[in-house]
Structure 1
Amino acid sequence: MGGDGRVYTVTSAKGGVGKSTTAANLAAMFGASDRTAVVVDADLATPSLTSHLGSSATPSIHDVLADEADVLDAVVEHAGFDVLPGTPGAAAFAGVDIARLRPAVGTLREEYDVVVVDGGPGLSHDTLLPMELADRVLLATTPDEASVDAAATTAEVADRVDASVQGCVVTKVSDRDELQAVRQGLDVPIAAAIPRDSAVPRSQTLGKPVVLAAPSAPSAKAYWNLAGRQPDVGRE
């Protein structure tokens, strides 16, 4: 393996806005486009990406950040892409040092064409570092005001740490009119609007991103639209 080592971080200060879903689907689309891809569960408190993909394993990113495992030993294979999973539970935090994420992502850059980092909610050093390590940051938000405000705050903080915010992914969209409120509250281009779709939770039950589990679903088609906006996705 080995390539340009492009790093994407999907993040927002608010939880429940589709960060993990977006990160998983982005990694799946890179993998389906002849790129070697790995998705990293950097939500250390609540590793929902790991749960969505059914990829819980030992060692995990928590062991890597506790300096108890090498990062490549913690990577597991999925369907067309790899996963660096987390370990659920408070006990996993013992000895974890988020600073170790920097060399870990550096190693992954050398091994993969694309690294997708699923950032945790909130605004702390644990969530800022994944943004700092990224070549491109994608914000995730739902159309409601609280989520948009959180995304806007995240964008401001990203600017302060010189992180490059490429756009936002609006999830759980019931009506296209909802996007106008997002545009008014968030000075970041909308990279994709993902419709509210029952195929998404069903795909998570199956442990697969929706683009693989239900490729004809409206949400999957919208994620492929996101892929078309990423310069690194697609066949040469």
Structure 2
Amino acid sequence: MPARTLAVAGAKGGVGKTTTSINLSAALAEAGLEVLVVETDLAMANVVDFLRFSPEETLHEVLAADAAPRDAIYSVPGGFEVLPSGTTVEGFVNADVTEIPAVLEAVEDRYDVVIFDTGAGVSHESLLPLGLADRTVIVSSPRVASVRDANKTAELAERLGGEVAGVLFSKSGTGRSPPPEQIASYLELPLLGHVPEDPAVPSAQDSGRPVVTVSPDSPAARAYREVAGTLFEEKADRAARTNGDSTTAHNQGARNRPDGDSRDTRNRPDSDDRASSGSIDTAVNDN
């Protein structure tokens, strides 16, 4: 059965999209789900910096047809897997963003959840996952400029045929911003949660691990865990029941896991109606 796919998005940079992607993944893995983060920020990738590892192959090579998707997937602290983007200009130039749907088809049957960590702005690679994903989470800070960009991101996701699950506020509880509930009402989006400003988050980043893993009882970790449960409660419950019968499933995975296991992949049905590259151009131009 194909994975449930989630895009973590927000046109404003620095609002916590990558932090959210990593910690939602860790929370879901903690619940027993097989999770893959696909970093589609091809120009300004930072997952490898957040998780402190140096991949040989990345999404850049995969999109340039120089590597297979399974060869660019890595196990990371937190119990999930990552298909990171590269960090070189040459890799960015050679990457064919239109191949992202094919990459998803090649790997999604191996996971319960695939999370797209998208880039800032309205570039092709930032918007494509919004149409591919089953649902999109809009990440925003409570600041005016960020909220304005969150509104645009939600509108673009809907134009691309995507479903917006709701908004998650990061770095909340500081300054004189309105409460998250009021901003979510203004955006006409469900409020998924708000992550408070928490020193445990930068400390976790310094250690190269998710805050959910390294400081599980911190306010931020609890907030991410609650949002993950809201988004994937049914899958998490099913995984918990399955893991009660068998504890081996969670330790099987990609080529880059210690045990070297490699699972089969299957393509989605031809009737897939997810967004195409052309629909992205239409959505941006209409906006």
Per the normalisation by structure 1, the TM-score is: 0.94
Q: Deviations over 1:89-145 (max 9, x none)?
A: 322213111111111011221111111110011112211111111011101000001
Map of 2:189 onto structure 1: 188
Q: Which structure 2 residues correspond to residues 145-184 of structure 1 after superposition, within 5 A?
A: 145-174=144-173, 177-184=178-185
State whether structure 2 residue 225 is matched by structure 1 residue 233.
Answer: no
Gaps of 5+ in 1: none
One-letter amino acid of the structure 2 residue matched with residue 60 of structure 1: T
Give 1:181 shift.
4.6
Q: 2-side partners of 1:31 and 1:184: how far apart?
A: 31
DSSP 3-state at the match of 1:202:
helix
DSSP 3-state at the match of 2:106:
helix
Give 1:180 shift.
4.3
Q: 1-side partners of 2:228 and 2:138: how far apart?
A: 15
Q: 2-side partners of 1:185 and 1:131: how far apart?
A: 22
Q: 1-side partners of 2:17 and 2:62: how far apart?
A: 22
Q: Which structure 2 residues correspond to residues 66-215 of structure 1 after superposition, within 5 A?
A: 66-79=64-77, 80-174=79-173, 177-215=178-216
Aligned residues: 234
Give 1:62 shift.
0.7
Map of 2:223 onto structure 1: 222
Q: 2-side partners of 1:38 and 1:183: how far apart?
A: 28
Structure 1 moving runs of 4+ over 3 Å = none
Give 1:184 shift.
4.5
Aligned 8 A contact 2:142 2:178 in 1: no
Aligned 8 A contact 2:167 2:184 in 1: no
User: RMSD over aligned Cα, in angstroms?
Assistant: 1.5
DSSP 3-state at the match of 1:7:
strand
One-letter amino acid of the structure 2 residue matched with residue 73 of structure 1: D
Larger Rg: 2
Map of 1:15 onto structure 2: 13
Moved more, 207-216 or 84-93: 84-93
Aligned 8 A contact 1:7 1:135 in 2: yes
Given candidates 47, 50, 53, the residue that maps to 2:48 is 50
Map of 2:25 onto structure 1: 27
Q: 2-side partners of 1:94 and 1:158: how far apart?
A: 25
One-letter amino acid of the structure 2 residue matched with residue 190 of structure 1: L
Give 1:211 shift.
0.3
Q: 2-side partners of 1:68 and 1:28: how far apart?
A: 29
Moved more, 49-58 or 14-23: 49-58
